[in-house]
């Protein structure tokens, strides 16, 4: 298949996953921000949320001082934020149009339908300013449904060939990255030392993390005990049964890359990188991670995940500069 | 319905339907208005779902728009079609001979059939192509010849589209939608199929692959990308042909061989069905600012390592100034009378003609020699006094740039609206394929309809619509 087609499929899934993640962290931050400081509200909730989204620097440059309304607008709607939810959906659809023939009709309809619905919300949230909370929660629900719909269509309707593998690869690469980022932003509240006798001020912080990766119920099923920070880290880093854990993502990433390598008859650097990370996640335990330092572990993971992304790019894809297609079209018109 | 001034393809002046239209006329007369209304909305829904859209340049709000579709089929009888088909084959054969000659010995110029400067000063003439031998002497692999009717006998050629004609996806999708929409009407006719067009196109493309390509040549469709107005058609065709839809950046040229970048490394390409204009094909050979093209493509092409369809430089043959010489050109190459008529045309470059045109602007249609898509033309009878005055200035400043034609009384066909059945003006774009195995025409084509009552402009960029075109066995009276 064309490298550009593979590239489009890969990024299409990444953008859909990113939109979903952003919707979840906005939702979680909204809950935390309404807590009195006595319950662990830190007052810097939006700053750390912007940070988890990798958008803090851009926000400071374009907007300035952090407050809730502006942060929500920036993360969800702002055209200036290249990774706002609306821009993610816009890029996803642009990628989808470019590879329409490689998508099933169901995938196209889910993307196109979501894009049309987004236009309606954009009309409501056209400008920064006050946020209609009811409409916002509708919007965040809609985004989560859209990514469910897209994933469901991809799972249920795509042929199991390289197109499917590249598409799913994008999903798990993005998911591994976002899970690691949200953990890293919050790593200080996950350290064992923060546990206080008789419950912790950080309790709501932990549940917020779990909520952001839709793992609150999963936690209860897996551990059957009250929320402990090191178990939150264990769940999201090492548990293979947790679909957003780093381990689970790498199970899928390694499997997908193996499929591609086998089909093309020659594995390369991406396969060996993925297996190296997977081996680490399989063998290390959470105590060892805390010994070496949670923050250090996560930083290293994010870097190696980026390096894997670059290796996949070099081996199979061409990275498309999002700005170029537009200017090309103008020169033709 | 029939209007004395125009030839209506369904209804004779005496009010009775012509033979080929008997069953359609009966259907229209007997179908309750609610039924037609529900079919119209069903049709709209189907097109929306398929996502068949086109973009209008300079229209920011509706970057993707549906073309209006009319549910009443346009019907041509087999004998009418056979005449038209013979004329199209003759015309396209000559277009290929003409191009081979212009880029070869230039006999048509030496014989004084066409003035040399019309060719040499033409912006679509490509001197690079001089002396180049293209496979099987085929230049125009795909053409869309625009045809209009003014009476029940003659077919007129309005334009020869020999560059990258579009619209064939509408021909195919219109038929698909109609088969689901009006099965009862299909059951009463034997309609020649159009669905084999992609197969026919693919075999034409494969037949012109370079010799060294082997028995299984690799074809691709080259698109300018998703912002192009015809992008939907490009992806639709690539899908039907089963070939990769590539953009310029997917191709690379190494030692005069073209490759596409795939997940398994570079793969050699033999035939490129390109939907990019000459100017944008290769920044090294043509416009250096083109980011759509492939650096080095032209030298690979000249080296004979890849076939481009259509060939480079075909624009000189479908130019509106060259058009006026087509009847003589046909006689020159074939020694035959042209089977299709040319619309009488004044060449504004000739002083007498210019004077006539300036004196008669309110009754003429004036077109830019290099224009397309209905942009930049004047329809005299529908223009305001100011528009006419403005156009007169443009004409005087650049007479070479314009031709003028009488306002044609384009034929009308019935179309279905909320307000009932109304006659609307139509034209027809049949698609003609040329390959090593000769020239063939798919029975049917794209009928474009001026949806506004009385309007003569059928271009989709100007609000025109489309309808399905049926070639049926001749039918002799009586209802089933």
The ipTM value here is 0.78
**B141 and B71 belong to one structural domain:** yes
With a cut of 50, say whether residue A197 has pLDDT above it: no
Q: What is the pLDDT of residue B2?
A: 40
Percent of chain A with pLDDT over 70: 90
Q: What are phi and psi of B77, to 5 degrees?
A: -80, 160
Q: Does B290 touch chain A (CB under 8 A)?
A: yes
Cα–Cα distance for residue pair B109/B320, rounded to 1 Å:
17
With a cut of 60, say whether residue B478 has pLDDT above it: no
Q: Does B226 touch chain A (CB under 8 A)?
A: yes
Residue B245: inside a domain: no
CB B287 within 8 A of CB B277: no
The pLDDT tens digits for A300-311 are 999 999 999 999
**B382 and B444 belong to one structural domain:** no
Pick from A3, A5, A331: CB nearest B291: A331
With a cut of 70, say whether residue B420 has pLDDT above it: yes
**Cα→Cα distances A129→A56, A78, A124, A161, B332, Å:** 19, 12, 11, 46, 74
Q: How many domains does chain B have?
A: 2
> If we measure between CA atoms, which residue out of A77, A75, A68, A3 comes closest to residue A34?
A68
Q: Is the dihedral of CA A90, A94, A96, A100 positive or negative?
A: positive
> Quick one: how far is CA B475 from the chain centroid?
29
Q: What is the pLDDT of residue A207?
A: 85
CB B426 within 8 A of CB B410: yes
Residue B300: inside a domain: no
Question: Mind telling me how many Å the CA of B258 is from chain A's nearest CA?
Answer: 14
**B322 and B398 belong to one structural domain:** no
The pLDDT tens digits for B257-291 are 999 999 998 999 999 999 999 999 999 989 888 88
Pick from A101, A109, A328: CB nearest B239: A101
Q: Does B51 touch chain A (CB under 8 A)?
A: yes
Q: For the CA atoms of chain A, what is the radius of gyration?
A: 20
CB contact under 8 A, A2 and B51: no
Per DSSP (E only), the strands in B131-248 are: 142-149, 155-161, 219-222, 244-246
Residue of B nearest to A319 (CA): B249
Cα–Cα distance for residue pair B90/A218, rounded to 1 Å:
74
Q: What are phi and psi of B325, to 5 degrees?
A: -95, 0
> If we measure between CA atoms, which residue out of B59, B278, B52, B82 comes closest to residue B192?
B82
Helices (H), A77-161: 85-98, 105-124, 133-157
Give the pLDDT mean for A72-87. 94
Most A CBs within 10 A among B240, B248, B263, B291, hence the mutation to make, goes to B263
From B356, B382, B405, the end of a domain falls on B405
Give the pLDDT mean for A198-222. 80
pLDDT class of B76 with cuts at 50, 70, 90: very high
pLDDT class of B58 with cuts at 50, 70, 90: very low
pLDDT class of A209 with cuts at 50, 70, 90: confident
Q: Lowest-pLDDT range, A37-51, B15-29, B296-310?
A: A37-51
Instruction: Please confirm whether the linkage preceding B310 is cis (ω < 30° from 0).
Output: yes
Per DSSP (E only), the strands in B141-206 are: 142-149, 155-161
Q: How many CB atoms lie within 10 A of CB B59?
A: 10
From B372, B389, B405, the end of a domain falls on B405
Instruction: Please confirm whether the linkage preceding B124 is cis (ω < 30° from 0).
Output: no
Helix axes B351-359, B385-397, angle to 10 degrees: 170
Tokens 């001089």, residue located: B130
Question: Mind telling me how many Å the CA of A45 is from chain B's nearest CA?
Answer: 38
Q: Lowest-pLDDT range, A188-202, B67-81, B365-379, B436-450?
A: A188-202
**B83 and B112 belong to one structural domain:** yes
Instruction: Let me know how many helices (H) and strands (E) chain B has, helices first.
Output: 15, 21
pLDDT class of A326 with cuts at 50, 70, 90: very low
Higher pLDDT, A142 or A331: A142
**Cα→Cα distances A236→A145, A199, A209, B122, Å:** 22, 21, 10, 68
Q: What is the pLDDT of residue B460?
A: 73
**Cα→Cα distances A206→A201, B240, B375, Å:** 10, 53, 63
Q: What is the pLDDT of residue B34?
A: 92
Cα–Cα distance for residue pair B87/B340, rounded to 1 Å:
5
CB A49 within 8 A of CB A75: yes
Residue of B nearest to A331 (CA): B290
Residues of B within 8 A of A97 (CB-CB) are 226, 231
With a cut of 50, say whether residue A123 has pLDDT above it: yes
Question: Mind telling me how many Å the CA of B261 is from chain A's nearest CA?
Answer: 6
Residue B11: inside a domain: no
Question: Mind telling me how many Å the CA of B226 is from chain A's nearest CA?
Answer: 6
Q: What is the DSSP letter of B135?
A: G
**B25 and B126 belong to one structural domain:** yes
Residues of A within 8 A of B228 (CB-CB) are 329, 332
CB contact under 8 A, A331 and B289: yes
Residue B258: inside a domain: no
With a cut of 80, say whether residue B63 has pLDDT above it: no
Cα–Cα distance for residue pair B136/B145, rounded to 1 Å:
22
Mean pLDDT for all residues in chain B: 90
Question: Mind telling me how many Å the CA of A87 is from chain B's nearest CA?
Answer: 17
**B417 and B460 belong to one structural domain:** yes
Give the pLDDT mean for B450-457. 86
Residue B310: inside a domain: yes
Tokens 């805390």, residue located: A290
With a cut of 70, say whether residue B28 has pLDDT above it: yes
Q: What is the pLDDT of residue B54?
A: 57
Q: Does B280 touch chain A (CB under 8 A)?
A: yes
Q: What is the pLDDT of residue A233?
A: 92
With a cut of 70, say whether residue B231 has pLDDT above it: yes
**B354 and B468 belong to one structural domain:** no
CB contact under 8 A, A2 and B261: yes
Q: Does B279 touch chain A (CB under 8 A)?
A: no
Cα–Cα distance for residue pair B463/B460, rounded to 1 Å:
5
Cα–Cα distance for residue pair B218/B225, rounded to 1 Å:
20
CB A66 within 8 A of CB A59: yes
Helix axes A162-185, A294-316, angle to 10 degrees: 160
Residues of B within 8 A of A5 (CB-CB) are 244
Q: Name residues whose C-beta falls within 8 Å of residue B223's C-beta, 6 or more positions apart in sequence.
A: B231, B234, B235, B238, B245, B246, B247, B275, B276
Helix axes A85-98, A68-76, angle to 10 degrees: 0
Give the pLDDT mean for B423-450. 95
Percent of chain B with pLDDT over 70: 94
Tokens 């509200």, residue located: A41
**B27 and B86 belong to one structural domain:** yes
CB A11 within 8 A of CB A91: yes
Longest dimension (CA), chain B: 69
Per DSSP, what are the bridge partners of residue B254? Answer: B257
With a cut of 80, say whether residue B294 has pLDDT above it: yes
Cα–Cα distance for residue pair B230/B233, rounded to 1 Å:
5
Q: SS3 for B88?
A: helix
Give the pLDDT mean for B217-232. 92
With a cut of 50, say whether residue B99 has pLDDT above it: yes
The β-bridge relationship of strands B271-274 and B307-309 is parallel
Instruction: Let me know how many helices (H) and strands (E) chain A has, helices first.
Output: 17, 0
**B382 and B453 belong to one structural domain:** no
Q: What is the pLDDT of residue B221?
A: 97
**B101 and B33 belong to one structural domain:** yes
Residue B216: inside a domain: no
Cα–Cα distance for residue pair B195/A197, rounded to 1 Å:
76
CB A232 within 8 A of CB A209: yes
The pLDDT tens digits for A1-53 are 999 999 999 999 999 999 999 999 999 888 887 777 656 555 678 988 999 89
Residue B267: inside a domain: no
CB B310 within 8 A of CB B127: no
Q: SS3 for A150?
A: helix
> If we measure between CA atoms, which residue out of B391, B64, B385 comes closest to residue B233?
B64
Cα–Cα distance for residue pair B202/B205, rounded to 1 Å:
5
Helices (H), chain A: 3-33, 45-52, 56-62, 68-76, 85-98, 105-124, 133-157, 162-185, 187-190, 203-212, 216-223, 229-237, 246-264, 269-283, 286-292, 294-316, 324-332
Quick one: tokens of B281? 């094909």
SS3 content of chain A, % helix, strand, coil (to 5): 75, 0, 25
- Which helix (H) or strand (E) covers residue B96, if one does? helix B78-102
From B370, B387, B405, the end of a domain falls on B405
Give the pLDDT mean for B140-165. 94
**B179 and B326 belong to one structural domain:** yes
Q: What is the pLDDT of residue A200?
A: 58
Q: Lowest-pLDDT range, B176-185, B226-235, B325-334, B434-443?
A: B226-235
**B203 and B350 belong to one structural domain:** no
Give the pLDDT mean for A235-248. 96
Q: What is the pLDDT of residue A201?
A: 62
The pLDDT tens digits for A124-177 are 887 877 788 899 999 999 999 999 999 999 999 999 999 999 999 999 999 999
Q: What CATH number did the domain enclosing B400 receive? A: 3.30.1490.270
The angle at the Cα of A276, spanning A275 to A279, to the nearest 5 degrees, equals 80
With a cut of 70, say whether residue B151 has pLDDT above it: yes
Per DSSP (E only), the strands in B7-106 are: 69-77
Question: Mind telling me how many Å the CA of B393 is from chain A's nearest CA?
Answer: 26
Q: Name residues whose C-beta falls within 8 Å of residue B341's C-beta, 6 or more positions apart in sequence.
A: B154, B155, B156, B157
Find the domain containing B99 and state its range.
19-210+306-343+408-472
CB contact under 8 A, B228 and A318: no
> If we measure between CA atoms, which residue out of A57, A78, A253 comes closest to residue A173?
A253
CB contact under 8 A, B227 and A326: yes
Cα–Cα distance for residue pair A26/A2, rounded to 1 Å:
37
Q: Name residues whose C-beta falls within 8 Å of residue B193's C-beta, 6 or more positions apart in sequence.
A: B175, B443
- Which helix (H) or strand (E) covers residue A307, if one does? helix A294-316
Mean pLDDT for all residues in chain A: 87
Residue B2: inside a domain: no
Q: What are phi and psi of A44, to 5 degrees?
A: -115, 25
Question: Mind telling me how many Å the CA of B264 is from chain A's nearest CA?
Answer: 7
Q: How many CB atoms lie within 10 A of CB A322?
A: 14
Q: What is the pLDDT of residue A124?
A: 86
Cα–Cα distance for residue pair A170/A14, rounded to 1 Å:
5
Most B CBs within 10 A among A1, A3, A112, A165, hence the mutation to make, goes to A3
């Amino acid at each position: 298949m064309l490298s550009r087609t593979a590239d489009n499929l890969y990024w299409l899934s990444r953008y859909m996953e990113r939109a979903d993640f952003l919707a979840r962290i906005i939702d979680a931050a909204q809950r935390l921000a309404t807590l009195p400081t006595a319950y662990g509200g830190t007052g810097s909730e939006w700053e750390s949320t912007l940070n988890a989204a990798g958008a803090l620097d851009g926000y400071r440059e374009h907007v300035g001082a952090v407050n809730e309304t502006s942060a929500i607008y920036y993360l969800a709607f702002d055209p200036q934020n290249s990774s706002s939810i609306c821009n993610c959906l816009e890029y996803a659809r642009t990628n989808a149009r470019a590879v329409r023939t490689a998508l099933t009709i169901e995938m196209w309809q889910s993307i196109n339908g979501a894009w049309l619905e987004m236009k309606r919300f954009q009309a409501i949230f056209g400008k920064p300013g006050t946020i209609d909370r009811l409409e916002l929660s509708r919007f965040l629900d809609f985004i989560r449904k859209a990514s469910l719909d897209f994933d469901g269509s991809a799972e249920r309707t795509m042929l199991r060939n390289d197109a499917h593998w590249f598409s799913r690869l994008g999903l798990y690469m993005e998911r591994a990255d976002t899970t690691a980022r949200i953990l890293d932003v919050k790593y200080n509240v996950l350290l064992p030392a923060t546990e206080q006798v008789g419950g912790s001020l950080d309790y709501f912080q932990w549940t917020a993390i779990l909520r952001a990766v839709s793992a609150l119920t999963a936690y209860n099923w897996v551990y059957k005990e009250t929320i402990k920070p090191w178990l939150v880290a264990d769940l999201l880093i090492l548990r293979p049964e947790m679909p957003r854990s780093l381990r689970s993502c790498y199970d899928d990433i390694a499997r997908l890359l193996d499929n591609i390598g086998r089909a093309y008859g020659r594995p390369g650097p991406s396969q060996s990188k993925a297996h190296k990370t997977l081996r680490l996640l399989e063998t290390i335990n959470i105590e060892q991670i805390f010994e070496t330092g949670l923050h250090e572990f996560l930083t290293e993971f994010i870097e190696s995940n980026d390096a894997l992304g670059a290796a996949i790019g070099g081996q199979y894809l061409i990275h498309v500069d999002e700005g170029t297609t537009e200017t090309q079209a103008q020169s033709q018109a | 319905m029939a209007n004395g001034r125009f030839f209506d393809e369904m209804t004779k002046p005496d009010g009775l339907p012509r033979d080929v239209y008997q069953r359609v006329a009966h259907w229209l007369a007997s179908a309750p208005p609610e039924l037609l209304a529900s079919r119209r909305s069903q049709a709209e829904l189907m097109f929306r779902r398929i996502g068949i859209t086109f973009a209008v340049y300079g229209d920011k709000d509706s970057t993707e728009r549906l073309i209006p579709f009319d549910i009443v089929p346009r019907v041509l009888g087999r004998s009418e079609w056979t005449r038209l088909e013979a004329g199209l084959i003759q015309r396209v054969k000559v277009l290929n001979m003409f191009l081979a000659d212009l880029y070869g010995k230039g006999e048509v110029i030496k014989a004084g059939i066409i003035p040399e400067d019309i060719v040499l000063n033409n912006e679509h003439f490509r001197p690079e192509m001089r002396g180049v031998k293209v496979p099987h002497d085929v230049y125009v692999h795909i053409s869309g010849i625009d045809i209009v009717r003014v009476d029940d006998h003659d077919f007129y050629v309005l334009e020869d589209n020999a560059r990258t004609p579009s619209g064939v996806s509408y021909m195919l999708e219109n038929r698909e939608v109609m088969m689901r929409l009006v099965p009862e009407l299909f059951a009463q006719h034997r309609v020649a199929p159009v669905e084999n067009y992609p197969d026919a196109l693919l075999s034409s493309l494969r037949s012109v692959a370079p010799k060294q390509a082997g028995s299984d040549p690799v074809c691709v469709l080259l698109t300018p990308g998703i912002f192009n107005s015809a992008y939907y058609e490009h992806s639709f065709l690539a899908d039907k042909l089963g070939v990769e839809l590539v953009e310029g950046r997917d191709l690379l040229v190494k030692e005069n061989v073209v490759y596409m970048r795939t997940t398994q490394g570079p793969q050699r390409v033999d035939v490129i069905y390109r939907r990019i204009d000459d100017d944008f094909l290769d920044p090294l050979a043509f416009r250096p600012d083109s980011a759509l093209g492939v650096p080095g493509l032209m030298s690979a092409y000249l080296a004979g390592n890849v076939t481009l369809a259509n060939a480079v430089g075909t624009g000189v043959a479908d130019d509106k100034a060259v058009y006026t010489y087509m009847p003589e050109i046909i006689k020159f190459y074939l020694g035959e009378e042209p089977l299709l008529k040319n619309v009488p045309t004044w060449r504004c470059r000739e002083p007498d003609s210019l004077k006539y045109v300036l004196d008669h602007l309110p009754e003429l249609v004036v077109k830019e020699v290099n224009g397309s898509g209905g942009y930049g033309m004047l329809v005299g009878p529908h223009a305001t006094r100011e528009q006419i005055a403005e156009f007169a200035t443009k004409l005087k400043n650049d007479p070479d740039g314009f031709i003028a034609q009488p306002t044609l009384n384009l034929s009308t066909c019935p179309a279905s609206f909320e307000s009932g059945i109304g006659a609307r003006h139509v034209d027809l774009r049949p698609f003609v394929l040329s390959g090593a195995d000769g020239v063939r025409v798919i029975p049917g084509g794209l009928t474009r309809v001026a949806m506004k009552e009385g309007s003569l402009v059928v271009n989709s960029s100007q609000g025109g619509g489309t309808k399905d075109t049926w070639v049926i066995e001749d039918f002799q009276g009586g209802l089933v």
